[in-house]
Amino acid sequence: MLISGLESFSQSISDIKYADCETVVVTKKEVTAFFDIIFDMIIELDNYHEQQENNIVKLISGDIKRDKRKTLNEFKNDDKITYLLKYQDKYIGFCTFTPVLNDKNKIIGCNFDFFYIKDEYRGKGLGRYFFQDSIQRIQKDIKNIKFITTSVVYDNGPARYLYEDNGFKPYHISLIKQL
């Protein structure tokens, strides 16, 4: 027996054709061309965080107001590796990885920094597909990495479940006290 409300979720998953999905690698040279799409999704992600109760992100950083030019420069100047999820000719998600270097400037791992799927495409299996595909791609794009780290707000159950279901284990816990 399905839990109430999951009937439509199960139906929507069966309607998805993963052949209609494509993970697009955005090179440093292409960041400017794709940046409007990425920035719009970053703003949607920020808005999502602003709407959450007990928002630790807002507590730490105050009101979230991103400067587009500064954010573009961060994407162009950092060593971020960016992937976009294209579904039926629409860009519906993105994620970024930042290489972790050892003391000899050799890449030994990656931080999984951003992960976002547009709201209307959530709950259909596309995020899981994109997440798994991105993890496989980063392992091919950067040879011999030993680990991938990420962080997630404790209250974000769906993200925590996705990460843990794909082999991520809790490693470090940060605690905060609101004053």
Mean pLDDT, rounded, of the chain: 79
pLDDT tens per residue across span 4-44:
333 333 334 445 566 788 888 887 778 777 888 888 888 77
Domain spans in the chain, listed from the N-terminal domain onward: 20-165
* Average pLDDT score over residue span 57-64: 53
pTM score of the predicted model? 0.76
Rounded alpha-carbon distances, angstroms, from residue 157 to 15, 26, 148, 169: 25, 29, 20, 14
| CATH code for the structural domain at 20-165 | 3.40.630.30
Is the sign of the CA dihedral 6, 153, 80, 111 positive or negative?
negative
How confident is the model over 141-173, as pLDDT tens digits?
888 899 999 988 777 888 889 999 999 998 888
CA distance 170 to 151: 9
Q: What is the mean pLDDT of residues 102-120?
A: 91
> Is the per-residue pLDDT at 100 higher than 60?
yes
The per-residue pLDDT for 72 is 76
Q: Say if residue 73's pLDDT is above 90.
A: no
d(CA 73, CA 77): 6
